[in-house]
Amino acid sequence: GVDVGFEADGTVTRAAVAVLRYPDLDLLEAAIARRPTAFPYIPGLLSFRELPAVLAALAQLREPPDLLLCDGQGIAHPRRFGIASHLGLLVDIPSIGVAKSRLCGAHEEPPNQRGAWTPLRAEGEIIGAALRTRVGVKPLYVSSGHRIGLETAIAYVMGCCARYRLPETTRHAHRLASGPP
């Protein structure tokens, strides 16, 4: 799982990578990297702001992970190239975008049952899915990032959602990226 937070009023980017074994979701390794924030906040261009620190965190791992679940978008992005796509391409690792909110596209509300999903569509194409990971919670927005199909991405995200709305991979990374300095 990959997530990013900021320290020192946004002047320091703090990226975290949490590596979990699948399917039991045991934490195997984690890394945190801090880098000066060198790019302004521009919606839709977060990868330029966040990826330098993410790449530094990935470089600390003993071995690269087999799959990246990124807190952000894959192709469910106005340019069809969100942070999960950008990162996956740079490191040539299959990647999935898992976002808490929709950046673009439209969808029907998925049924209120675990694992239910509806296509997220934009300009006549399916760019992702609105996925209900638990009964009674808002859906997540899942999209292919790099070298993975949508239905496979959905299956992995569901396999990583044990007790909470968010996958354990990005939950671990979020705690590391947002925790005390």
Produce one character per residue of 19-33: b if its CB has 16 or more CB atoms within 10 Å, e if not: bbeeeebeeeebbbb
Question: Residue-wise pLDDT tens for the chain (181 aa)?
Answer: 999 999 999 999 999 999 999 999 999 999 999 999 999 999 999 999 999 999 999 999 999 999 999 999 999 999 999 999 999 999 999 999 999 999 999 999 999 999 999 999 999 999 999 999 999 999 999 999 999 999 999 999 999 999 999 999 999 999 999 988 7
Q: Structurally, how many domains does the chain consist of? A: 1
Q: Is the distance from CB of 34 to CB of 7 less than 8 angstroms?
A: yes
Supply the pTM of this predicted model.
0.97
Length of the chain: 181
Neighbours of 17 (CB within 10 A): 29
What range defines the domain where residue 86 resides? 2-178
Instruction: CATH number of the domain at 138, please.
Output: 3.30.2170.10
